[in-house]
Structure 1
Amino acid sequence: MLTLTPNAAQVIKDLTAQQDVEAAGIRISSQGDDQGALVLSMATAPEPTDAVVETEGARVYLDPVAASVLDDKSLDADTDGQGGVAFHVTD
């Protein structure tokens, strides 16, 4: 299952705190094309088929394809001085 670094968990909590929904998180889903690309978006709740990863109060929802692709990976995040966020996946 995907793991979150402490930094990624904090960034996700900061992002979802801006929404006034208790189950808010980020969702990683497949684009449905043959390229294998994944898309990250804000979500108020998981979809019925999503796997849920929760670390230190940060929630990530993964569609079945993303859950399979990211099964043995770790999600990390960086922020820049202007409030921008970059997520990256490591082995």
Structure 2
Amino acid sequence: MLALTENVTEIVKHLTDEVPAVAGIRIATEPDGQSLSVSPADQAAPTDQVIEQDGATVYVDESATALLDDKVLDGGVDAEGNIEFALGQQA
């Protein structure tokens, strides 16, 4: 299962606190089957895997679940306030 860093949980919690219509973030596979997108979400899709950690919720679409099974999601905020995400291998 995808693991979340403390950075990501803080980013997601901040986002959901600031935007009440957002319940978490959703990671989905793009049509090319190789790329992933991350977007705010108000709820999970019926086949999404739901990851809840330290008050943060991340929805992972069914196609992305297998790709991310052994990964760690990290994130940060750049100088302009843009959220950036990165994937790493679980130890």
Calculate the TM-score normalised by the size of structure 2.
0.90
Distance in 1 separating the partners of 2:39 and 2:63 = 15
| CA positional deviation for 1:80 | 1.9
- Which runs of 5 or more structure 1 residues have no equivalent in the other structure? none
| CA positional deviation for 1:85 | 1.2
User: 3-state SS of the aligned residue for 2:19?
Assistant: coil
Choose the corresponding residue for 2:68, options 67, 70, 77. Answer: 70
Calculate the TM-score normalised by the size of structure 1.
0.90
| CA positional deviation for 1:31 | 1.2
Distance in 1 separating the partners of 2:68 and 2:62 = 10
Aligned to 1:85: 83
Aligned to 2:16: 16
Distance in 2 separating the partners of 1:63 and 1:46 = 8
Number of aligned residue pairs = 89
- Which runs of 5 or more structure 2 residues have no equivalent in the other structure? none
Q: Deviations over 1:37-65 (max 9, x none)?
A: 11111000000000001110111000111
Q: Percent of aligned positions with the same letter in both sequences?
A: 42
Distance in 2 separating the partners of 1:77 and 1:33 = 24
Runs (4+) of structure 1 exceeding 4 A deviation are none
- Aligned-residue CA RMSD (Å): 1.3
Distance in 2 separating the partners of 1:55 and 1:86 = 19
Distance in 2 separating the partners of 1:67 and 1:90 = 15
